[in-house]
Amino acid sequence: MIQTINCYSQSMEIDSIKVSKLTTIFFHWYMKNATKKKNGEIYPRFVKSENGMTTLEYRKYFKNLKKYSFSDSLIEQEKLSYKVCIDNLAKVKYSDFLQFDGLADFEERDCDFTNYYRWIGGQEMFEGYTLTRIQFDNNQALVSGFLYDNKYECNDVKGLKKEIVVTLIRQENKWVILKIR
């Protein structure tokens, strides 16, 4: 009986390390690339389609989401979130798209995704992420943490700006991100 408990405890410890690394590495990558405004890294790029109209190129973006352990279902959900934008862009000549000069042009077409940070949920960028708690429930892990600004110490309550919870599941025998809220 004690050996079973030790195995279970070791497995939980290994899983805790894995899910904490996944979330920390993801947020570090996301905030770094968002700050550098790397086009195509953290959201799709607007490009000219073969017929001269406008569309989205998102292969690199989705490749990054896969690289940073997003689940297949979350990636599929993310692809679907761009459908209305792509449908609307298909009616806009690329030369006309290049003349867009305000946020309203993008909002009218449901393509204003570059105006907010998708995976931290807002328009304000943070500089750091600190993990506060990990909970396991069957094959699911809830990783709670805070996004903060570096001008504050991590343990300074004023610097802890926004709580964020990442849900992870096992997919093909490894932990992947199912949801970020």
> Which residue ranges make up each domain of the chain?
1-35+122-181, 43-116
pLDDT at 145: 95
> Side chain identity at 84, as an amino acid letter?
V
How high does pLDDT run on average in the chain?
88
Cβ atoms of 65 and 42 within 8 Å: the answer is no
pLDDT at 156: 57
The DSSP secondary-structure symbol of 171 reads: E
Q: Which CATH class is domain 1-35+122-181?
A: alpha beta
What's the pLDDT band for 40 if we cut at 50, 70, 90? confident
pLDDT at 19: 97
pLDDT at 38 over 60: yes
Neighbours of 130 (CB within 10 A): 14
pLDDT at 172: 87
Cβ atoms of 90 and 55 within 8 Å: the answer is yes
pLDDT at 4 over 80: no
pLDDT at 166 over 60: yes
Neighbours of 141 (CB within 10 A): 25
pLDDT at 3 over 60: no
> Mean pLDDT lowest for which of 2-6, 68-72, 137-141?
2-6
User: How distant is the alpha carbon of residue 91 from its chain centre?
Assistant: 29
Rounded to 5 degrees, φ, ψ at 92 are: -115, 120
pLDDT at 141: 97
More confidently predicted of 72 and 6:
72
